[in-house]
Every structure is written in structure tokens, then in C-alpha cells.
Amino acid sequence: MSQSSPASGPETPRVVRLTAPLSEADVRRLRIGDEVLLSGIVYTARDAAHKRLMETLDRGEPLPFPIDGAAIYYVGPTPAKPGQVIGSAGPTTSGRMDAYAPRLIALGQRAMIGKGQRLKAVAEACVTYGCVDLAATGGAGALLARTVKSATVVAYEDLGPEAIRRLEVVDFPCIVALDTTGADLYVAGREQWRTDQA
């Protein structure tokens, strides 16, 4: 389910509200620079958890959470203080998951949340299968944690902060960094800077 602000040109960033799990139609209409306020179910997983997910697939076993329509947040939250749902929950560097992401995207993952540029293979998988890379603000983990309404460990509890958690979020803020047309916000931003300097 999704909702956007009043009609704007295709090159104009918009504010788009989305609810996860996501559909292919949800993500295919997004463009780089769009601000997304994400609500619903988001799963956490960093590189240690992704490695185990790959091993699970290699054994022909089901993944510990539904991948179709999933949004995965690359985060290892700090322990929650008394009265908190979760501790600081800022994004980790997305490139650490580049070796694993295309396989999950091919299985129906619709969104990745992290920070930093991705490899070409990830961008190509986004185009082919319908997925977006969303950038969250680094250094704002305490603020991002305020959007998390519940957090439950669903797999790999022995990994501590890197265990896979099921988060319920409301209006988690992020920006589309890779869209399904192959556009890359990091590349576009550098090109715009060069144009502005000319």
C-alpha cells in the first residue's frame, strides 16, 4: 500500500508513504531522491546474518522470515535501555551486503535500507526483479529508533546485535538511492555537483 503527495514531475523528488511488506508496483514507481516514510514490518540483517541466510538457501531450507515483499534494514541496534523498544538503530554500510543482496532480490526482496553506494550487480538486480535501495541517515540512530514500535528476535539470537529482528516501524524516513530504472542517487549527485561548478 502506498500514498504520495500531489502529482509532481517525474524528475521532482516526492514524499511517498509505503507500508511493508511491499509490492513490486510500490517500488517500481519510486525514483531516486524520493523521500520515503516507511511503515509496517522491516527485518534487520547485517553481513553475519546474510551469510547464514545464504547457507540456509544453499541447503535448500526455508528462510527464517518471508522474503517476498520484504524490506531489510542493515542495522545492528544497541541494547535497549529500560522503557525503550530498541537501542540506537543507525544504518551500517550497505556495501557489506553486496555479495548477498542480488540473490535475495531475485527471491522477492523489495527494499534494502542502509548507507553508501552499491555495486553494479545490486543495481542490475533492482532493475530486473523490482527492488530499491533506500538510504537512511547515518549518525541519527537514536532518532531513527523512535520510529520503531516493537522489536522481536526471529533468528540467529547468538549473533547478539546482528541477530535478525522483526521491527514494526511507523514513518521510518529514508531516501531512494537506487531505483528500478537503474538510476543511482550517488552518481546523479556527483554529476549535478559538476554541473553546478561549471
Residues tagged active-site: 50
Distance CA 95, CA 109 (A): 17
CA-nearest of 38, 9, 18, 24 to 179 is 24
CB 51 within 8 A of CB 18: no
CB 181 within 8 A of CB 127: yes
Distance CA 172, CA 73 (A): 11
Phi/psi of residue 56, each to 5°? -65, -45
Is omega for the bond preceding 21 within 30 degrees of 0, making it cis? Answer: yes
Sequence-ordered alpha helix ranges (H) in 59-161: 101-106, 120-129, 141-145
